[in-house]
Amino acid sequence: MKVSVYVATTLDGFIAREDGALDWLPGSDGTIDPALEGEDYGYQSFMNSVDILVMGRNTFELVHSFGEWPYDNKEVIVLSSSLTQVPKALPDYVSLKAVPPEVLYEKLKQAGAKHIYVDGGQTIQRFLRAGLIDEITITTVPVLIGKGIPLFDGLSEDINLHHLTTRTFINDLVQTKYSVEKITSKGVS
């Protein structure tokens, strides 16, 4: 089973402003550069490869606030110990779990999942600390916001990455994909 992260950050490494705002993301104001019409930065292709999306409560609440639910027919698991029920307006394939990443990983693996997408800063960090992330795709937006919610925070040890690919876009965004080095009882794999 493969576990991936697909995320956008500012050049200084933030996934959102301190208040959760994403106004620094191109197109967040609803305008689209005509030169980029139809460009999704590989997102749809990535989503087509994913069986299940796992996100944290904050990310879930942000996505839910957008109005229309964007994950049609894609199983979504929200990791939260504070939410007690999924809003009734959401599809049946959205569920809540209050389990550690390792437990969820094993359950999904046993159920036959092939590709898991992990989203949300704290959730990504928890999966990284547990050694469960295989691949990270980061689209860097060329903007410095000075402070905000960091993508990588609170890691207790170094995590080595291996560069796979880099793409650039006409609006100066840079997308880089890395594999995450796994430490096993036999050493690095």
Q: List the CATH number of the domain containing 15.
A: 3.40.430.10
Residue 55 lies in a domain: yes
Pairing state between β 187-188 and 161-168:
unpaired
CA atoms of 29 and 155, how far apart (whole Å) = 33
Question: Tens digits of per-residue pLDDT, 126-157?
Answer: 999 999 999 999 999 999 999 999 999 877 78
Query: Which range of residues forms the domain containing residue 63?
Result: 2-19+51-174
Neighbouring CB atoms inside 10 A of 74's CB total 17
Neighbouring CB atoms inside 10 A of 133's CB total 24
State the total domains in the chain.
1
CA atoms of 180 and 143, how far apart (whole Å) = 26
CA atoms of 18 and 147, how far apart (whole Å) = 7
Question: Tens digits of per-residue pLDDT, 38-88?
Answer: 677 888 899 999 999 999 998 898 888 877 778 888 999 999 888 878 777
Residue 33 lies in a domain: no
Query: Which has the closest alpha carbon to 171: 41, 5, 12, 9?
Result: 41
Phi, psi of 124 (to 5 degrees): -60, -45
Predicted TM-score (pTM) of the model is 0.88
